Amino acid sequence: MEIKKYTFLPHGDERGQLVVVEENKDIPFDVKRVYYIYDTLADVTRGFHAHKCLEQVLICVHGSCKIHLDNGFETEEVLLDKPYEGLYISNDMWREMYDFSSDAVLLVLASQYYDEADYIRNYDEFLKFVRSKNS
């Protein structure tokens, strides 16, 4: 599976680091929504869904976590532990987030407003969705 990761160039100087992400320049969509996840307990796995349309970029701006990706054919585990690295996740990707360090802050840039109707939360429904598109 091809993993699409972005490395954002930090503007570092003697004061520290600053990372910029601009819509349609550094990432391939308009950012309609930003949310972040923190204080996640060590044994927690979140996500367990795909989307009909939504695209996202995940940035672990502090600490680390792992992302399980599943395109219906293959799976991959991705470590996010750099505040200047973004993981692109297309709509048709089942995702689970786990192994959060206690200090992890996972920032998510999303291409659409929150819409529960865009979620595919049933794994069998997800398989039907991706396999119908790829057959």
CA 126 to each of CA 1, 51, 75, 94: distance values in angstroms, whole numbers, following the listed order = 17, 9, 14, 7
Catalytic residue at 68?
A: no
Q: Does 114 bind ligand TYD (CB under 6 A)?
A: yes
Q: Which two tokens stand for residue 60?
A: 């672990």
**Per CB under 6 A, which region of 9-17, 24-32, 43-51, 86-94 contacts ligand TYD?**
43-51
Q: Which is closer to ligand TYD, CB of 10 or CB of 33?
A: 33
Site string for ligand TYD, 67-106 (x = CB under 6 A): ----------------------------------------
Q: Which is closer to ligand TYD, CB of 35 or CB of 73?
A: 35
The answer for residues whose C-beta is within 8 angstroms of residue 65's C-beta and 6 or more apart is 40, 80, 97, 98, 99, 100, 101, 104, 106
Q: Does 47 bind ligand TYD (CB under 6 A)?
A: yes
Q: How many residues does the chain have?
A: 135
Catalytic residues: 49
